[in-house]
Amino acid sequence: MGAEQPAGPGARRLTGDPGRSHRMDRETLQPQAKRIEESYVSVERTLVLVKPDGVARGLTGTILARVEAKGYKLVQLKLVDATRELLERHYEEHVGKPFYEPLVEFMLSGPTAAAVFEGNRVIEGFRSLAGTTEPTLAAPGTIRGDFGRDWGLKVQQNLVHGSDSPESAEREIGIWFG
């Protein structure tokens, strides 16, 4: 007796029970593909800045390597001599606060490495990896905990910035890479 041939274009015979044909066509695969697609979380993007203190201390590569080692994908990177206008847009929610002008002056003091990373929950993941904004209190094992310290200046030089929400990430990426 001859082997049964698969029915329809794109169908093929699968190994397994001899004499039993398994139909593999578009109608069979579409619902499976949709279920698989729905099981994946959407990929986020975040802006990561290595601030002038991190760049000046030669920590850019070490910091970016930690983010990559966490499993996030680096998708854009550039070294930026930020302008006052760029920083005013980036820090617009802090205008009028006592630390605003010292912060802008600090960010103007040298180049900043601007990077975009992507991955599932990358915003939350990077912020955890960075540690609290107060380097003295940041946990060991975090970027700020391992490399940051209080220098006794008007503004905390805390090495890195990371977006705090998907909306902020979109806005900030547009400012630095738009």
Q: Where are the alpha helices (DSSP H) in the chain?
A: 26-39, 52-56, 60-69, 84-90, 100-108, 122-130, 143-147, 166-177
pTM above 0.85, yes or no: no
Question: How far is CA 45 from its chain centroid?
Answer: 5
For residue 23, the model assigns a pLDDT of 53
Distance (Å, whole) CA 65 – CA 130? 13
What is the reported pLDDT for 5? 53
Instruction: Please give the average per-residue pLDDT across 47-74, as a whole number.
Output: 98
> Of the residues 22, 90, 94, 161, which is catalytic?
161
Contact call for residues 102 and 143 (beta carbons, < 8 A): no
Angle at 150 between CA 91 and CA 57, to 5 degrees: 80
Q: Nearest Cα to 168, choosing from 74, 82, 91?
A: 91
Domains and CATH numbers, the chain: 44-177 (3.30.70.141)
Integer Cα distance of 18 and 172 in angstroms: 60
Task: Please determine, for residue 44, whether its predicted confidence score (pLDDT) is greater than 60.
Answer: yes
The amino acid present at 154, given as its one-letter code, is K
Average pLDDT over residues 142-171: 94
pLDDT at 28: 58
Cβ(111)–Cβ(77) below 8 Å: no
pLDDT computed for residue 8 by the predictor: 54
pLDDT at 176: 98
pLDDT of residue 98: 92
Q: Please confirm, yes or no, whether 161 is among the known catalytic residues.
A: yes
**pLDDT higher than 60, residue 6:** no
pLDDT-derived band at 27 (thresholds 50, 70, 90) equals low
Q: Quick one: pLDDT at residue 38?
A: 53
Output the pLDDT for position 2: 52
